[in-house]
């Protein structure tokens, strides 16, 4: 070799995540001081997270030494530690470019983590079998219903607007629902609807926040909206309270 016409060296930092690795928060989350991230060195991240919520620490909240050991408080008999990924699962994880739930692409600042079941210890990169849903099967014995409850996006968040609805064992039948015609819509007055009356309504509305309420509601406006935050690098919609027309 007499001459080198061109040379280019690319260097990338590689930080492999093991099954029991502590994952540091991104700076924009860490600086909010609103989330506790316990620095455990075992595979029981879920247990330490529960303990930090049940028994808040006044100092050094990120250290396991600030809490009683989870085994003295929690019954972990049926909770399985994370099972290491198989080589094909690890490869699928490494090359993934989209979220497996919302199917949105990762942004440059996103950190990929495993999504796993704390009962079986299995990664949710693969489809779990019916026998893996130990607790869920106790309440949904019909295989068709169990299959529906396993699907993402089925939980009726908009319907369960009060804790009392969690006590209901069945939903109203379809024949109890009807579309309102133009006459009923024109005559409808929200203030006349009884809070615990026989008739309820599902409304899709446009909201204009009165300017006279902006100052008094600026800390926490009503009616959060699913939207992409202004000037955000991530394009994932979030539930954001705001004063915009919507």
Most confident of the ranges 88-102, 128-142, 207-221:
207-221
Is the pLDDT score of 224 beyond 90? no
Triad 69, 74, 77: Cα angle to 5°? 110
Question: Residues 72-101: what's their mean pLDDT?
Answer: 78
Q: How confident is the model at residue 68, as a pLDDT?
A: 92
- Sorting pLDDT into bands at 50, 70 and 90, what band is 19? very low
CA 64: distance to chain centroid? 24
State the Rg of the chain over Cα.
Answer: 25
165 located within any domain: no
Number of domains present in the structure of the chain = 1
220 located within any domain: yes
Is the pLDDT score of 61 beyond 50? yes
Is the pLDDT score of 44 beyond 90? no
Residues 6+ apart with CB under 8 A from 29: 35
178 located within any domain: no
Q: How confident is the model at residue 66, as a pLDDT?
A: 92
Does the pTM surpass 0.75? The reply is: no
Inter-residue contact 113 to 23 (CB < 8 Å):
yes
CA-CA-CA-CA torsion sign (187, 190, 191, 194): positive
189 located within any domain: no
- Sorting pLDDT into bands at 50, 70 and 90, what band is 128? low
Question: Residues 141-166: what's their mean pLDDT?
Answer: 71
Residues 6+ apart with CB under 8 A from 30: 24, 37
245 located within any domain: yes
Question: Residues 218-234: what's their mean pLDDT?
Answer: 82
225 located within any domain: yes
240 located within any domain: yes
% pLDDT > 90, the chain: 2
Q: How confident is the model at residue 153, as a pLDDT?
A: 55
Its domain, for residue 241, covers 202-246
Q: How confident is the model at residue 143, as a pLDDT?
A: 81
232 located within any domain: yes
Most confident of the ranges 46-55, 158-167, 221-230:
46-55
- Sorting pLDDT into bands at 50, 70 and 90, what band is 158? low
Q: How confident is the model at residue 115, as a pLDDT?
A: 67
Is the pLDDT score of 125 beyond 50? no
**Distance separating alpha carbons of residues 173 and 167, to the nearest angstrom:** 17
Least confident range from 120-124, 135-139, 157-161: namely 120-124
Q: Which residue has the tokens 């470019």?
A: 97
Q: What is the 3-state secondary structure (H, E, C) of the chain?
A: CCCCCCCCCCCCCCCCCCCCCCCCCCHHHHCCCCCCCCCCCCCCHHHHHHHHHHCCCCCCCCCHHHCCCHHHCCCCCCCCCCCCCCHHHHHHHHHCCECCCCCCECCCCCCCCCCECCCCCCECCCCCCHHHCHHHHHHCCCHHHHHHHCCCCCCCCCCCCCHHHHHCCCCCCHHHCCCCCHHHHHHCCHHHCCCCCCCCCCCCCCCCCCHHHHHHHCCCCCCCEEECCCCCCCCCCEEECCCCCC
Is the pLDDT score of 242 beyond 80? yes
Is the pLDDT score of 208 beyond 70? yes
């Amino acid at each position: 070799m007499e001459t080198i016409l061109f040379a280019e060296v690319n260097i990338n930092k590689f930080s492999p995540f093991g099954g029991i690795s502590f994952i540091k928060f991104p700076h924009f989350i860490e600086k909010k001081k609103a989330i506790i991230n316990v620095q455990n060195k075992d595979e029981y991240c879920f247990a330490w997270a529960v303990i930090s919520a049940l028994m808040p620490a006044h100092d050094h909240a990120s250290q396991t030494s600030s809490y009683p050991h989870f085994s003295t408080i929690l019954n972990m008999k049926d909770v399985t530690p994370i099972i290491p990924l198989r080589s094909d699962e690890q490869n699928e994880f490494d090359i993934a470019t989209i979220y497996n739930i919302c199917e949105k692409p990762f942004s440059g600042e996103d950190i990929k983590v495993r999504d796993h079941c704390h009962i079986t210890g299995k990664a949710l990169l693969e489809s779990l079998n019916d026998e893996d849903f130990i607790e869920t099967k106790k309440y949904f014995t019909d295989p068709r219903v169990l299959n529906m409850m396993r699907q993402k996006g089925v939980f009726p968040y908009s319907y369960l607007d009060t804790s009392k609805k969690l006590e209901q064992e069945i939903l109203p039948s379809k024949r109890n629902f009807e579309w309102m015609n133009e006459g009923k819509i024109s005559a409808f007055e929200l203030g006349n609807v009884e809070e615990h009356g026989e008739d309820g309504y599902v409304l899709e509305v446009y909201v204009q926040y009165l300017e006279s309420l902006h100052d008094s509601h600026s800390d926490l406006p009503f009616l959060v909206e699913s939207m992409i935050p202004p000037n955000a690098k991530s394009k994932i919609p979030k539930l954001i309270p705001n004063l915009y027309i919507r």
